[in-house]
Every structure is written in C-alpha cells, then in structure tokens.
C-alpha cells in the first residue's frame, strides 16, 4: 500500500482542487435553489447558515484534537464522506426543515477536514514551506471553481437546480475513496500510542493547544479578527444572491435565466481571484509577520469598501464589479490568514487543534452575526443587511493595529504531557 502513495504536494492539490470543484458544483445553484425553489426568506437563509456554523462551533475543536491524536489523513477522509452526504441531503428536497437539518452533517464533515488538511501538509513538507503551498493551492482551487461553475449551471438549467447539488455531494464521497490508497502520512506520530492512551492524549492536546493560545497575545488578537470576519462574511455570503435577485435584477439578454447570470458573476469573481492570488504568491513573503499582517489589513479595508459599494449600487453592472472585488479579496485573505496562524504554532503536535480553534472563533462570529444580519434583511431591507456586513468588519481593522504593535511572538513550544 505504501508503494502506491503519492508525494504530499500533488495529493494536497488533488484534495484541494477536487474539493473546490465538487463543492462549486453544489454552490453554483445552491443559493438559487434555496431562494427560488424552496422560497426561503432572508432570515431562513441565514438560519441555515447559523445551523451550519453552530455545528462547526461545537465540533471544530473536538475533531481537531482527534486529528492531532489519531490521524490527520483519516480525519480528512471521514470529513469528505460526511460533507458529501450532508450536501446530498440538503439538495434532495426544497423544504426548509430538511435543508436546515442537513447542515449539521455538512458542518461536521467540514470540521473533520478543517485544520487536519492544513496540519497534514505542514507536517509532510515542513511549516516553513506551507505558506507557498497554501497560495498555490488557492490558485488550483480557483481554476477548479472556474471549470465547475459553467458545468454546474448548465446541469441546473438543463435538468433541475438541485441536480448539481446531488452530483457534487456524491463526488465528494468518491474523492475520499480515491485518496484512500494514495494519501501518505509520514510526518505524523499518533499521540495515543506515546502518551498513555487516547483519552489522556486528547485531554493533554486540548490543554496544550489552549495553553499555546493563552501564552500568545498575537494569537488571541488573530482569533478576535477571525470572529469579526466571520460575523461579516455570514451575512454577505448568505444574502448576496437575494440582493441581486430582489434589488439589482439582471440583464434581459438572450433570455438567460437568473441562475446563468449568477454563474457569470461567480466566474468573473473567480478569474479576478486567480490573478490576485498570483500577485500575492509572487510578491508576499508568507513567513513574514509584518508583511502578512499588513497585507491582511489592506485586504479587509478594501473588502469593507467593496461591500458598501455593492449595498449602495442601484444596478447590475456596478453591483457585479463590487462583488467581484469583494470575493477576490476574500480568496486572497484565506491563504494569507492561514499562513499567519501557521507562523505562530511552534509545536506541530497541536497544529490541527489550534487551526481548528481559529475556525471555531470564525464560527462564533458567524453564529453571532448571521441571525442579526438576517433579521435586518427581513425586517428592514437586504441593502441594510449588506451595509451591516461592512460595519461589523470595522473592529477587525482596529485589531490589526494591535497586531502590528505585538509583532511576531516566539512562544515556548506547547507540551502535550500532563503537568
């Protein structure tokens, strides 16, 4: 079996690209399916996101600990299966409660992948090389999204809006079985075999990860930024399709359906994202605290402006351009933010746990901000909710100025043995 394993970087690109392609098949029609066929209102759309984020909040750290104790590889494979099943359930029926109940399964699957995937590649190739791989994989993901979008839209337009959702979910399950014989794991040592059993190892890993975060003022600041970013992103990501559908409209050209125009919007955003990430890959030193933190500050500031323009726009073209910039900035933010966290985890044994803690704080932000912005969208207007998404991102900019002063810490390695 070991002789069949591939090198880590190609496997990581296959995992990242395949995940991006198959989930884009799902998301090419998912929000349109929920808006048009299921007839969900803004608060229902955001409640679906809240259910997803609540499951992520609850399971993010426990699954990260399992990945650190048992196997990052196994965690990723389990996550792909669960995520695929959850997405298929969510696309099976245009009924609010079924879609809502599908979110925990999809969310738990994400938590098995989150943290474990990044910790796996960092251990296989070394954390000093991981930042460049994160940026390259972001480009691979963008290319796969560009390829998947027209396919998903065509399937949705020719067959039914939920067909791409069902296909994408099923292919995630297939991806897990494709990776099973070829994904190596040579840079990881199971802690339950060296620290007195599974329960002791899980407890000590949680304590060590929490201790590392508490001893690092910068990591605490980074987690605060993640929370406000989560608050802003939940409203924006859940409501932008409805904003176009109800407020901005779409061109009456060649009798194209709304789902096709959503595909045009997404494709343009993906192309711009590809160029933006390539610029960062060539110009940004992902191992430099100063460069990465200031780059993230500028990205978030530009996101605030883009979301405000999208909220204020009165027509399709300006709204589309603003959306393109907002999404492309988000695509550049994700790998840089991950590299920033990775800089500050000196002990690889708790890497997945700490990354999962960061994702958990993002989920907290989404749980806190999502229902509020959804209520604003329902009781006031979708424009007001979009403005709200920009406003809640402003505190993150203040936290960046704190991070600049804190500088790059050099904390002691976390220990995973009980005191």
User: Tell me, what DSSP letter sits at residue 244?
Assistant: I
HSE of 8, CA atoms in CB hemisphere, 13 A = 20
Q: Is 413 among the domain residues?
A: no
**Phi, psi (5° rounding) for residue 38?**
-85, -20
Q: Is 414 among the domain residues?
A: no
Q: Which helix or strand (DSSP H or E) is residue 92 part of?
A: helix 72-92
Residue 327's domain comprises 2-184+196-406
DSSP 293-339: HHHHHHHHHHHHHHHHHHHH--SHHHHHHHHHHHHHHHHHHHHHHHH
Q: State pTM to two decimals.
A: 0.75
DSSP 116-157: HHHHHHHHHH-HHHHHHHHHHHHHHHHHHHHHHHHHHHHHHH
For the chain, which residues score pLDDT lower than 70?
A: 1-4, 191-203, 205-206, 407-419
Please give the C-alpha separations between residue 67 and each of 31, 84, 104, in angstroms, as whole numbers.
31, 19, 19
Q: Is 321 among the domain residues?
A: yes
Q: Is 190 among the domain residues?
A: no
The tally of domains found in the chain comes to 1
Check residue 408 and give its pLDDT.
59
Cβ pair 69, 191 in contact under 8 A:
yes
Check residue 248 and give its pLDDT.
92
Tens digit of each residue's pLDDT (9 = 90 or more) over 156-165:
989 999 999 9
Q: Is 51 among the domain residues?
A: yes
Check residue 318 and give its pLDDT.
96
Q: Is 214 among the domain residues?
A: yes
Q: Is 189 among the domain residues?
A: no
Check residue 5 and give its pLDDT.
79
Q: What is the CATH number of the domain that holds 68?
A: 1.20.1250.20
């Amino acid at each position: 079996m070991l002789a069949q394993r591939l090198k880590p970087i190609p496997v990581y690109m296959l995992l990242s690209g395949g995940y991006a392609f198959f989930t884009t098949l799902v998301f090419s029609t998912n929000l349109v399916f929920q808006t048009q066929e299921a007839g969900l209102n803004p608060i229902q759309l955001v409640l679906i996101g809240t259910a997803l984020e609540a499951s992520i909040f609850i399971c993010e750290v426990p699954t990260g600990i399992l990945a650190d104790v048992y196997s990052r590889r196994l965690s990723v494979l389990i996550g792909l299966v669960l995520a695929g099943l959850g997405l298929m359930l969510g696309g099976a029926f245009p009924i609010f409660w079924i879609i809502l109940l599908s979110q925990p399964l999809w969310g738990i699957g994400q938590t098995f992948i989150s943290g474990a995937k990044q910790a796996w590649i960092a251990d296989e190739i070394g954390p000093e090389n991981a930042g460049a791989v994160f940026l390259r994989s972001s480009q691979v993901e963008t290319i796969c999204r560009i390829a998947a979008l027209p396919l998903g839209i065509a399937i949705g337009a020719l067959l039914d809006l939920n067909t791409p959702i069902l296909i994408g979910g099923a292919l995630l399950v297939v991806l897990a079985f494709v990776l099973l014989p070829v994904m190596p794991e040579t840079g990881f040592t199971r802690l339950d075999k060296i620290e007195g059993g599974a329960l002791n190892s899980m407890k000590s890993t949680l304590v060590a990860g929490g201790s590392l975060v508490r001893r690092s003022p910068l990591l605490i600041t980074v987690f605060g930024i993640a929370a406000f970013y989560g608050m802003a992103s939940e409203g924006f990501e859940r409501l932008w399709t409805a904003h176009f559908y109800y407020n901005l409209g779409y061109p009456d050209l060649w009798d194209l359906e709304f789902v096709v125009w959503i595909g045009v919007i997404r494709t343009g955003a993906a192309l711009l994202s590809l160029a933006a990430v390539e610029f960062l890959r060539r110009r940004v030193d992902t191992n430099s605290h100063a460069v990465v933190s200031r780059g993230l500050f500028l990205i978030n500031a530009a996101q605030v402006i883009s979301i405000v323009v999208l909220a204020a726009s009165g027509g399709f073209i300006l709204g589309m351009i603003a959306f393109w910039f907002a999404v492309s900035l988000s695509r550049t933010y994700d790998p840089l933010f991950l590299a920033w966290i990775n800089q500050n985890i000196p002990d690889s044994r708790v890497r997945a746990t700490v990354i999962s803690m960061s994702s958990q704080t993002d989920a907290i932000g989404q749980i806190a901000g999502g229902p509020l912005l959804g209520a604003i969208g329902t009781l006031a207007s979708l424009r007001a909710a979009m403005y709200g998404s920009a406003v809640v991102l402003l505190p993150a900019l203040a936290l960046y100025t704190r991070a600049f002063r804190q500088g790059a810490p050099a904390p002691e390695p976390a220990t995973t043995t009980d005191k």
